[in-house]
Each structure stands twice: as C-alpha cells, then as structure tokens.
Chains A and B, each alone.
Chain A
Amino acid sequence: MKLSQDTILHAAVAALREQVAPAIQDPFIEDVLRMAANQVSMVADAWDSAAALRIDENQRMRTLFAESAGAVADNGLAERLADAAQSSDPGYRISELDRENGRLRSLLVELHTHVEASASEPARVIDRRIWRHLQDVEAKRAPR
C-alpha cells in the first residue's frame, strides 16, 4: 500500500481545483466547490496526527486530574478526578477518543469552576495549570 488516506484526499482536491472548477460557469457553484475543496484539504492535513493529538490531550487531562485531586475540598469531585486520572481511552477510533475527550472536558470544566471559587494558593495553581493546558491544546490543534 503506497497511498495513504491524506495523499488520496489531496489528489481529489487537486482534481476538483484543477479539472472541475475551470469547467463551472455558475459563480455560486464555483464558490461551493472552492469551499468544499478547502474542507477536504483540511481533513487531509489533519488525518495523520488525528489520533495522536487526541490520545495526548486525554492523557494530559488525566495527569492534571491526578495532580489536582488532592487539592480539591469537595470529596465527591476529588473522587471523580481520581477515577478519571486512572481511566484510559476505551479504544483508538477517532469517535471513541472524541467521546472520551468530551467526558474529560466536562470534568475539567467542573474542576475549573470549583477552583475559581477558592482563593487558596493550591486552587490558584490549578487554575493557572488549566489555562496553560487549554493554551497548549489550542496550539496543538491549530492547522499545520
């Protein structure tokens, strides 16, 4: 197998742009084609790293939970953080990783809301760590 999925998609985009687009007369349809080709191109660019990004992001959240659980005053939340910290991705399909990502994100929001309500230094440290984590996630997910 010499063709990766992203190579196939990029070839399809090239055909749309170079062969199909010049034959279109309707400016509205031409615009639709241009936008569709851009989307396919973006998917192709993201294909290779899609699973790795999600696995890394999920693991970083678990690490953050592990390091925060001890500093959380709410016992119920602390327990859920500890449980999440011990969890692992249920599978490596993108849809499975995304669902797990969504579950962990919801817990992250809960943790964030909790520490914002506290003026203690440990809570401030966790708040800063969460914002840095969110910056890292955005930077890693930015299109290459």
Chain B
Amino acid sequence: MSKTMNDPNPLTPYARSLGIAVEGEENGAPKLYVEFDTAVEGRPGHFHGGATSGLLETAGYAALRARLAKDGRNPQLKPINITVQFLSAGKSKRSYAVGHITRLGRRNANVTVEAWQDDRERPIATAVMNILMVEKEG
C-alpha cells in the first residue's frame, strides 16, 4: 500500500485495507461504511466483532478530525480507551458508522459512535471513546 504525503483520504492504511470508505456525512461528521467481505467476516455470514470495532473506532476519529478542522485545530490524536457494546449480529451486508462529539475539551475528547446496517434507528453496535489531543509544537 503506497503512503503518500498530503493524502486527501483521512483514513488510516488499516481502515483502507479493511475496505472502509466515506459516504457523505451526518451533522458534520463523516459517514463511513464497509461492505461485507471476507476481510470482515467472523462467524460465517456475520461481521467479526473486531471488524465492527475497527469501523466504529475509525468513524470516531473521523468525526473528531472533522470537528477539529472546523475549529482550525490539527493536534495529534492518541487513543485512551474504547468501550464497544454489541447490540445485534452484523449480517452479510454493508455496515455504516458515524461518530458524535459528546464533549470536546483542550486535551481530551469524548466521542460516541453508532454502527447500523439497514435501519439507522436500530444500531448493531455502539462505542464510547476517549481520545487524547496533543497540540503540535509551533
């Protein structure tokens, strides 16, 4: 996988390799999705919990990046923790995820994320993340 500087794609090599892509936004936060494929399959015909977690986490960072860009900030982001709640099995179809900034401080952001498939009102998994923001020297 080539790594180019100033890549307009905000996704990490891991996220792109897993097949995560952006499709529009919701309340200013990028809406991400991943197609069902062998790379995300756990139990036959179902999403692996780890793949669902990867989608949630990526959507959480994307939501925070979008908000920080709007505020003119570009800190380095470091994960503190993530708690994932698995609500129902992810079936063999496209999954979406979008993050929401619950609290944005100077050093810490608290982000909640929802993932769903057919029905936006029926999430398959949710996550809460704490993310440390380190402002670059300058």
Q: Is the pairing of A and B real?
A: no
Q: Which residues of B contact A (CB under 8 A)?
A: none
